[in-house]
Amino acid sequence: MTNELREFFAMGGYGLFVWSSYGLTALLLVGNLVLAVRRERRVIRELSRRLPVGAGHDPA
Amino acid sequence: MFKTLHKYASPMHFHALARRWSTPLLWLSAVLFAAGLAGGLVMAPADYQQGESFRIIYVHVPSAWLSMFAYMVMAGAGAVSLIWRVKLMDALARAAAPLGASFTALALATGSLWGKPMWGTWWVWDARLTSELLLLFLYLGYMALQSAIDDRRAAARAGAVLAVVGVVNIPIIHYSVEWWSTLHQPATITRLGAPAMATSMLIPLLLMALAFQLLFFALLFIRARSELLEFEQRSLWVRELLGQGSPR
């Protein structure tokens, strides 16, 4: 690793705090997206199953 | 104009609109994130007082702004729904709550990670921190109400009352740094006159704030779609939509 890169990750000695903040942010933003998409899929699946016969989508 | 407004207040039309816009919003947000991160982590110089630790501002401030913005969406939608009984507003309020709660938690956590090296402590019962923590509890209270009450209409109304009452906390959060001026530093951007920040530091912050904001709308749209489908499960448009195969 070059010196510049090492310096960048060290963040002037605050690396632990800076990178935890950014890591936590990334985790939370991506997590929010995954949860929202998964919830929509689950709702669609459950509502489709409960649809009355004839209105549900053709499994074939 | 009122015709357009009325059209998009219908669950079916809003659902279609939310389907169309969520993906472009996500992409736009990703581009802004890339630019904001490059500016904030690489191009902006270190702060002369706080050194490199000030870079936490680029995730802390946008999440703190969003924590309040999401609350205004939740309470605003709740108020409209209490007055005019608009189903779309119930769906938006329910969709905003978990998002607001997560951004509030993020603002608190990143604030803590910034406070430790700068203030020497993870937490103080400072007015700003305390009112932001109260905001988290308001969101959690709203969400608990939603899952505790089976009847969706009743849950939405009870939640709306809670959200509207809790709105008094928003100006308290905003002005807390002036009214009590304890440990948390005063506003850098939203003050009268020029922002107290160099342009090379300010631009990445604005990019990140916009990226967060667009991501919030994308997430709000995706979540609102689920809520609308559930609210409207007996209506014809939902049946037709689900009958088409796999609507996304």
The ipTM of this complex is 0.89
- pLDDT of A56 over the 70 cut: no
The answer to the question of residue B179 being in a domain is: yes
The answer to the question of residue B3 being in a domain is: no
- Region B61-81: mean pLDDT is 96
- The Cα B143–Cα B121 span in angstroms is 30
Nearest Cα neighbor of B163 from B139, B130, B189, B131 is B139
Residues with Cβ < 8 Å from A38, sequence gap 6 or more?
A: none
- pLDDT of B246 over the 70 cut: no
DSSP annotation string for chain B: -HHHHHHHHSHHHHHHHHHHHHHHHHHHHHHHHHHHHIIIIIISPPBTTTBGGGGGHHHHHHHHHHHHHHHHHHHHHHHHHHHH--HHHHHHHHHHHHHHHHHHHHHHHHHHHHHHHHHS-S----HHHHHHHHHHHHHHHHHHHHHH-SSHHHHHHHHHHHHHHHTTHHHHHHHHHHHT--SSPPPSSSSSSS-SS-HHHHHHHHHHHHHHHHHHHHHHHHHHHHHHHHHTTTSHHHHHHHHTS---
Give me the pLDDT at residue B247, please: 47
Exposure of B152 by Cβ count < 10 A (0-12 exposed, 13-18 middle, 19+ buried)? Answer: middle
């706080």: which residue's tokens? B50
The answer to the question of residue A58 being in a domain is: no
The answer to the question of residue A57 being in a domain is: no
B225 touches chain A (CB under 8 A): yes
Record: contact B215-A29, CB cut-off 8 A: yes
On whether the CB atoms of residues B77 and B93 are closer than 8 A, the answer is: yes
The answer to the question of residue B6 being in a domain is: no
Write the CA distances from A8 to A12, A15, B56, B180, B240, integer angstroms: 8, 9, 14, 37, 54
The answer to the question of residue A38 being in a domain is: yes
Those of residues 60-99 in B touching chain A at CB distance below 8 A are: 60, 63, 98-99
- Of the listed ranges A18-32, B36-50, B154-168, B193-207, the one predicted with least confidence: B193-207
The answer to the question of residue B219 being in a domain is: yes
pLDDT category at B107 given cuts 50, 70, 90 is: very high
Give me the pLDDT at residue A53, please: 52
- The Cα B244–Cα B30 span in angstroms is 31
Q: What is the CA radius of gyration of chain B?
A: 20
Give me the pLDDT at residue B245, please: 53
Give me the pLDDT at residue B18, please: 95
Record: contact A57-B244, CB cut-off 8 A: yes
Give me the pLDDT at residue B193, please: 61
- The Cα B224–Cα B14 span in angstroms is 9
φ/ψ of residue B175, rounded to 5:
-90, -5
Per the structure, the complete domain to which residue A43 belongs is given by 3-50
The answer to the question of residue A22 being in a domain is: yes
- Region B78-93: mean pLDDT is 93
Per the structure, the complete domain to which residue B179 belongs is given by 18-188+195-243
Give me the pLDDT at residue A60, please: 40
A55 touches chain B (CB under 8 A): yes
Query: Closest approach of chain A CAs to the CA of B82, in angstroms?
Result: 26
Q: Which residue has the higher pLDDT, B93 or B191?
A: B93
Give me the pLDDT at residue B225, please: 97
SS3 of residue A10 by DSSP: helix
Q: Which residue has the higher pLDDT, B71 or A15?
A: B71
Give me the pLDDT at residue A13, please: 85
pLDDT digits over B178-227, tens only? 887 777 887 776 665 666 788 888 999 999 999 999 999 999 999 999 99
- The Cα A28–Cα B246 span in angstroms is 28
- Region B157-182: mean pLDDT is 90
The answer to the question of residue B12 being in a domain is: no
Q: Total structural domains in chain A?
A: 1
- pLDDT of B58 over the 70 cut: yes
The answer to the question of residue A60 being in a domain is: no
- Of the listed ranges B92-101, B165-174, B176-185, B233-242, the one predicted with least confidence: B176-185
The answer to the question of residue B181 being in a domain is: yes
The answer to the question of residue B204 being in a domain is: yes
How many interface pairs between A and B have CB atoms less than 8 angstroms apart?
99
On whether the CB atoms of residues B112 and B89 are closer than 8 A, the answer is: no
Query: Closest approach of chain B CAs to the CA of A20, in angstroms?
Result: 8
Query: Closest approach of chain B CAs to the CA of A46, in angstroms?
Result: 10
Give me the pLDDT at residue A4, please: 85
The answer to the question of residue B4 being in a domain is: no
The answer to the question of residue A55 being in a domain is: no
Give me the pLDDT at residue B188, please: 74
Q: Total structural domains in chain B?
A: 1
pLDDT category at B3 given cuts 50, 70, 90 is: low
Structure tokens at B248: 């996304």
pLDDT category at B147 given cuts 50, 70, 90 is: very high
Query: In CATH, what number is assigned to the domain containing residue B207?
Result: 1.20.120
The pTM of the full predicted model, rounded to 2 decimals, is: 0.90
